[in-house]
A = this chain, B = another copy of it.
Amino acid sequence: MPDVSPTKWHLAHTSWFFETFVLTPHADGFRRFDENYGYLFNSYYEAVGDRWPRLARGLLSRPSLDQILAYRAHVDHALGAFIADAPDDVWDRASGLIELGLHHEQQHQELILMDIKHVLSVSPLNPAYDPSMRPGPHLQSKLDWARLPGGLLDIGHDGNGFAFDNEGPRHKVWLDPFGIAARPASCGDFLAFIEDGGYHRPELWLSDGWAAVQQNGWDAPLYWREPHSSGAREIFTLAGLRPINPAEPVCHVSFFEADAFARWSGKRLPTEAEWETAACAGELGQTGEVWEWTASAYGPYPRYRPPPGAVGEYNGKFMSGQMVLRGGCAATPDDHIRTTYRNFFPPTARWAFSGFRLADDA
């Protein structure tokens, strides 16, 4: 899977971020741990030089894990000293970058679990990452709906507290009245879609989605194993294989699968503006277990401008070919979740902890 990186790469990359954007430009007398690491652990910042190809990350037998832990210790130590000792003017320039680096590291905490799950899942041994991990919440069986009046509203981050650049500027949108489900779609809901032939009915799918079904042989969410002859199904989790639970949120579906399910239901996915409006109004139930696909293509908000320099590459340059997800998942650090947060993945991606909830017109 080309999108998956080894854990040790994540460990090094998050330290590289502090080294490159905070310590090297701002900390007097700081010495880079190894000049080659810039090349190895840059993920996609064109402005700071060439990069080791993403596909080749799995080939990196060197540096060893020990060397990478030493690298992290080197950066952590220097960062601690910098925080303690930075002159005020330097601090003013660097503190925002440190905050960004912390949020960046939180993102990678989630990515590490996504990637570990994928790597373990392809082993025929079905190894558990942590057998003690508990399954997700039980959803209500009945599907309740919230009704919202729409109108001329404001969405986006207002600038108080930390947010990524792509969450603003706050701006007006017009929304027609809409309904939104009080819980995400469940595994039981999705089983009904499968049993009704959902993966074999082209009229339910976007054209690119149907092509993805054919090309990849999709017939269930990622990590769902073929049903036993008895019809019972198992699902691969970070706690190993376990029987599927119809009451938990369906997870590891692509945007295309979420969209096809919605069409099959006679409903649709919410736009990100609808999602944010409902979340701010306290009308969204049982969020935080799975990211929720929206109907919105990921693009810039009106008057959005990326910040200057390399950190401007953080979000803005990915604004094509991806769909927005909202909410947060069980692997997302709690204080990393915001109602304005815009996560994004290509519409075929399934290795993120991605589910969805339904919406409809009033």
Contacts and interface: CB of A to CB of B under 8 A. Distances in A.
A17 interface: no
Contact of A123 (B46, B61, B203, B319): B61
A127 B173 CA distance: 51
Nearest to A256: B320
B207 A123 contact: no
Interface in A306-326: 312-313, 317-321, 323
A316 to B, nearest CB: 8
Interface in A16-44: 34, 36, 39-40, 44
Contacts of A210: 46, 317
Nearest to A299: B297
Given A123-B60, A321-B321, A321-B347, A207 B44 contact: yes
Interface stretch (A51-59, A215-223, A226-234, A328-336): A51-59
Interface in A338-362: 347, 361
A347 B320 contact: yes
A125 B317 contact: no
A358 B123 CA distance: 45
A58 B61 CA distance: 11
Contact of A176 (B171, B297, B312, B347): B171
Contacts of A125: 34, 36, 40, 62-63
A41 to B, nearest CB: 11
Contacts of A303: 176, 361
Contacts of A176: 171-172, 302-303
Given A208-B320, A297-B299, A120 B62 contact: yes
Interface in A53-88: 56, 58-63
Copies in the complex: 4
A57 B171 CA distance: 48
A112 interface: no
Nearest to A123: B62
B122 A59 contact: yes
B120 A206 contact: no
Central interface residue in A120, A203, A361, by most chain B CB within 10 Å: A203
A152 interface: yes
B60 A58 contact: no
A124 interface: yes
B206 A320 contact: yes
Contacts of A259: 320
A361 B152 CA distance: 20
A205 interface: yes
B203 A46 contact: yes
12 contacts: A39-B124, A52-B124, A60-B123, A61-B120, A62-B120, A62-B123, A152-B152, A173-B174, A176-B303, A207-B320, A295-B300, A303-B361
Given A36-B124, A295-B299, A302-B361, 6 more contacts: A34-B125, A40-B125, A47-B202, A152-B152, A176-B302, A210-B317
